[in-house]
């Protein structure tokens, strides 16, 4: 893995990161096989739960371009589920289904945020182990078709902001104004979804911003800023190099966008480094 050093923060608001790939569904791979994969991970990964499967996502360009809000329906009579497997201290999670393999860092465990360069080797190792499990079980090699990386940030009230008047001190480049010249109206709840192309047609950056309470109505209030980059694998590279290149590209897009969408004042609060 190689990527140039980028700006970072000593105390960022990120609370979860997800590295993953999407792959062509494997014929004959069942829930029982996924359960056996969980058992193969050993006692360091004791907790597992079933979750609904994640739908296939493709960032396409040209004639088969992306249409916001479009729904892709795929029907199958095969029973499928997504396993969410957590380690002992609840700081890592593996999500696996017959078309996806994701590796999460979970900041709600209280662990200090690990850098991308620390989590990437963990993802690479677990993905290789999953491939080895499939091979040992008689299945063909994975055929990845998409890379994906997500960062989730909780910007809590009482940190870099306190009142609505402070919102413009956090964010700079969202298309919704935080203030108005009309004294009779005031923005009550800034939120939205935006999509950006990673040029030239290498992928897309999806940005979601919501404000609300983290749990019950009496819990902490925060902005939740979710940035997801995904794109197709470079067909001119080997699968390993294409995954590496895609994840590095997605990480760069997320870091650059986060720095661009937030203010210098917020960067100072989060202790920005170069």
Q: What is the pLDDT of residues 194-210, one digit of tens each?
A: 999 999 999 999 999 99
Q: How far apart are CA 213 and CA 221, in angstroms?
A: 4
Beta strands 192-198; 100-106: pairing state: unpaired
d(CA 141, CA 131): 7
Q: End-to-end CA distance of the chain, in Å?
A: 20
Supply the pLDDT for residue 70: 46
Domain count, the chain: 1
| Other beta carbons within 10 Å of 189 | 8
Least confident of 64-73, 135-144, 150-159, 201-210: 64-73
Establish if 56 belongs to a structural domain. yes
Q: Is 1 a member of any domain?
A: no
Note the pLDDT of residue 236: 96
In whole angstroms, give the CA distance from residue 216 to residue 189: 18
Return the higher-pLDDT residue of 6 and 152: 152
Residue 2 resides in a domain: no
Q: Give yes or no for residue 238 having a pLDDT over 70.
A: yes
178 confidence band (pLDDT: 50, 70, 90): low
The pLDDT of residue 6: 60
Q: Is the pLDDT of residue 137 over 60?
A: yes
Average pLDDT over residues 262-270: 96
Residue 72 lies in a domain: yes
Q: What pLDDT, on the 0 to 100 scale, is given for residue 190?
A: 80
What confidence tens digit (pLDDT) does each residue in 213-231 have? Answer: 988 787 899 999 999 999 9
3 in any annotated domain: no
Dihedral sign, Cα of residue 85, residue 91, residue 92, residue 95:
positive
Tens-digit pLDDT profile for residues 42-84: 999 999 999 999 999 999 887 655 455 444 444 444 557 999 9
Q: Is residue 121 part of a domain?
A: yes
Average pLDDT over residues 237-257: 97
From 59-68, 185-194, 232-241, the region with the lowest mean pLDDT: 59-68
Report whether pLDDT(155) > 70: yes
Would you say 56 and 72 are in contact if contact means Cβ atoms under 8 Å apart? Answer: yes
> How large is the average pLDDT for residues 178-197?
79
| pLDDT value at residue 51 | 95
Cα gap 216→266, rounded to integer Å = 26
80 Rama class: left (phi>0) / alpha (psi -120 to 50) / beta:
beta
Pairwise CA distance, residues 119 & 193, whole Å: 27
Residue found under tokens 């964010």 = 171
Which domain range does residue 95 map to?
Answer: 8-273
Residue 115 has pLDDT above 70, yes or no: yes
pLDDT at 216: 79
Q: Name the pTM for this structure.
A: 0.90
233 CB burial (10 A radius; 0-12, 13-18, 19+): buried
**Maximal CA-CA distance, the chain:** 68
Q: Give me the numbers of helices (H) and strands (E) for the chain, helices first please.
A: 4, 11
User: Is residue 231 one of the residues assigned to a domain?
Assistant: yes
Phi first, then psi, for residue 106 (nearest 5°) are -115, 105
Residue 109 lies in a domain: yes
pLDDT in tens, 78-105: 557 999 999 999 999 999 999 999 999 9
């Amino acid at each position: 893995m190689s990527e140039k050093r980028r700006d970072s923060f000593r105390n960022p608001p990120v609370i979860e990161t997800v590295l993953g790939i999407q792959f062509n569904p494997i014929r004959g791979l069942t829930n029982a096989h996924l359960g056996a994969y969980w058992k193969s991970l050993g006692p360091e990964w004791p907790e597992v739960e079933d979750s609904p499967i994640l739908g296939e996502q493709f960032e396409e360009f040209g004639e088969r371009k992306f249409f916001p809000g479009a729904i892709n329906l795929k029907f199958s009579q095969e029973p499928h589920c997504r396993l969410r497997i957590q380690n002992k201290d609840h700081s890592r999670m593996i999500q696996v289904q017959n078309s996806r393999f994701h590796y999460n860092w979970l900041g709600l465990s209280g662990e200090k945020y690990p850098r991308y360069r620390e989590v990437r080797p963990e993802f690479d190792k677990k993905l290789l182990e999953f491939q080895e499990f499939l091979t040992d079980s008689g299945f063909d090699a994975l055929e990845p078709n998409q890379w994906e990386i997500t960062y989730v940030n909780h910007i809590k009230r009482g940190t870099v902001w306190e009142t609505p008047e402070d919102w413009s001190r956090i964010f700079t480049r969202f298309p919704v104004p935080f203030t108005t010249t009309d004294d009779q109206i005031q923005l009550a709840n800034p939120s939205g979804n935006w999509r950006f192309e990673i040029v030239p047609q290498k992928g897309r950056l999806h940005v979601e911003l919501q404000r609300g309470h983290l749990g019950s109505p009496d819990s902490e209030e925060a902005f939740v800023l979710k940035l997801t980059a995904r794109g197709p694998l470079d067909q001119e590279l080997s699968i390993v190099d294409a995954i590496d290149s895609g994840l590095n590209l997605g990480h760069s897009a997320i870091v650059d966008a986060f720095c661009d969408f937030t203010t210098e004042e917020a960067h100072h609060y989060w202790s920005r480094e170069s």
